[in-house]
Amino acid sequence: MYQLHGFCQSGNTFKVAFLLRALDQPWEPRFVDFMNGVTRTGEWREGTNEMGEVPVLDDGDRRLTQSGVILTYLAEKHGAMGGASEEDRLEVLRWLLFDNHKFTSYFATYRFMKAFGPTAPDPAVMNWLRGRLDNAFGIVDKHLAGRAFIVGEAPTIADISLCGYLFYPVEESGYEIEGRFQNIAAWLQRVRSIPGWAHPYDILPGEVIAAKW
Instruction: For residues 29 and 51, give the distance between their C-alpha atoms in angstroms, rounded to a whole number.
Output: 20
Q: Which residues pair with 29 in a beta bridge?
A: 4
Candidates 4, 17, 19, 39; binder of ligand GSH (CB under 6 A) is 39
Q: Which of 4, 12, 44, 48 binds ligand GSH (CB under 6 A)?
A: 12
- Residue selected from 54, 75, 140, 194 as contacting ligand GSH according to rule CB under 6 A: 54
Among 3, 21, 45, 52, binds ligand GSH (CB under 6 A): 52
| Binding of ligand GSH by 159 (CB under 6 A) | no
Instruction: Spell out, one character per residue from 55 to 94, where the chain touches ligand GSH: x when CB under 6 A holds, - when not.
Output: x----------xxx--------------------------
Residues that bind ligand GSH (CB under 6 A): 10, 12, 39, 52-55, 66-68, 100
